[in-house]
Amino acid sequence: MKKGFVFVLILSMFSIQFLSAAAIDMKSQYNQGETIIAKISGNFIDPILQENVFFYRGHVKIPIDYEVTKINDYFYVTASLIGKTPDNYSMRIENVQHYESGVATNVDIISNFSISNTTADFSIKPGFVISSADFSIEVQNLKDDSLKISIKDPDKINSSDSINIGGDQIKDIDFQLGNITGDFFEIIKLSTSNLEYNIPIYIFGQKAKSYCGNGNIDSGESCDGTNWGDINSCSDFGFTEGDLSCYASGTSNECTFDTSDCVGASSQGYCGNGKIDAGEQCDGANWGTVKGCENFGFNSGTLSCDNCRLKTDNCFNTQCISDFNCSSGYKCTSNICKKQVECRENRDCKNNYTCSNNKCIAPGKECISDSNCTSDNECKDNKCVLKSSGCTSDAGCDYGQKCNKGICVDSSIQKTCLESGGQICGLDKVCSTSNSTKIGDNICCFDSCTDAPKSSTSKIIGWSLVIIVVLLLAFFYIKYKSTRRKVPDFVDLGKSRR
């Protein structure tokens, strides 16, 4: 019984070590122009990113067109071998922490392969698909003669059974999604008599649509109820005061900002002056507190300023399966990469904390740090207050004040000797009268500067020291001579004893 238990235990340990080892599942030989679809398994601490994947010809790193993604528990790398000549190659995953035999390591994960002298029938692009809508896969005939490519797709996806493609031609194979209610992972097979591709696909099922009034800034919205994102007040739209609001759901301008109650516009403002004047959303590169597409419910793309209005035409949402598919600072929520914030509303916070500027604030407190306040405020004693008077020059201070180390102070404190009508005497110079005062680290003289009177004191002290040293030397010399013993004459001593 004990032997059986020990055997099972040892077998389990070896199984765990085997399962935890990282591995690349790919062919050992490819034809010229073929598309690599590699599946990577293992217990990874770090995700495999684009910058972690390298291809080598022998021992030389080579450029290659490839993509990386994660679907469920596996990473996938797809790469095009078009233009690569026959030789021995390798794919390496470098600088990624993972477990090997239960021990964390970042040792390279390597898979060797070769390219033959034969040209592949066709190549594909992309080598994997992540979609929530109809999609297509591009195929390229690498032969001179026409090809018939067979298509085998899952039941929930519709396409033709095969296509014919002429020599050296490129064609798209279209796939239509059926009635899909949930996410699913499947394989699409494209094949000829010589070559077969197994293409992993992940399809997002139909989700509840976003709408104005759900409290979230969804695609195309500027605000939703009390959720204004990074916008704080009328000042973000060039006004000096007033009440900013968000158009309610059901109105013609729903979930956009209403500036009709904002006042205090500058009469000299115009589009193109680089300042956000009344009624403007932006001016050139000046977008105020707006950071980009994320302010309008998108997580990708490029926001632009056109005629002093922000345009979201090039903003879009990146679909995701997990947080890996999103950029830094975003989380995968309902298959959409959304900006990661601590809270969006009070119910996102615990312990009766309230949500302020996407931060959870303790009860009875308005702020914890300056990040909880608007840009023109700072957090003092858990309250958002206007920032202390700061300055970079005297022009930034009130009348009668000067700028001293970024703080406006009374000019009487800051006046220099020259501004006070005096002068600082140079080296070996002194003020001709006692009419002087100390300003900073210098003495400011309000009369003329004259040569400093020469003093003989230093000479007297110098000669006195010399005399003292000479007298001391003479004293020690005499002392030495007087105490010196005479060397005894041993011959005379001998005679006297006889």
**Predicted confidence (pLDDT) per residue in 192-243, tens digit:** 999 999 999 998 876 545 678 888 887 778 898 888 888 888 888 878 888 8
Judged against a pLDDT cut of 60, whether residue 467 lies above it is answered with yes
**For range 64-85, the mean pLDDT:** 92
Residue 207's nearest CA partner among 232, 230, 184, 181 is: 181
Residue with the larger pLDDT of the pair 226 and 388:
226
**Residue whose pair of structure tokens reads 């590699």 in the numeric block:** 38
Q: pLDDT value at position 194?
A: 95
Residue with the larger pLDDT of the pair 284 and 200:
200
Q: In this structure, which amino acid lies at residue 341?
A: V
- List the domain boundaries for the chain: 12-203, 211-340, 354-387, 389-415, 418-452
Residue 16's nearest CA partner among 87, 112, 103, 136 is: 103
Q: pLDDT value at position 421?
A: 67
Judged against a pLDDT cut of 80, whether residue 493 lies above it is answered with no
Judged against a pLDDT cut of 80, whether residue 286 lies above it is answered with yes
Report the length, in residues, of the chain: 498
Work out the percent of the chain whose per-residue pLDDT is above 90.
Answer: 27
Bridge partners for 242 per DSSP: 262
Contact predicate 256/246, CB 8 Å: yes
**For range 143-151, the mean pLDDT:** 95
Q: Cα(307)–Cα(318) distance, rounded to whole angstroms?
A: 28
pLDDT band for 21, please (50, 70, 90 cuts). Answer: confident
> 117-131, 205-219, 296-310: which has the highest mean pLDDT?
117-131
According to CATH, what is the number of the domain 12-203?
2.60.40.10
Q: pLDDT value at position 296?
A: 81
- What letters, b where the CB count within 10 A reaches 16 and e where it falls short, cover 163-189? bebeeeeebebebebeeeeeeeeeebe
Judged against a pLDDT cut of 80, whether residue 142 lies above it is answered with yes
**Residue whose pair of structure tokens reads 């340990």 in the numeric block:** 13
Q: pLDDT value at position 33?
A: 96
- Residue 483's SS3 state is coil
Residue 75's CB is within 10 A of a number of other CB atoms, namely: 24
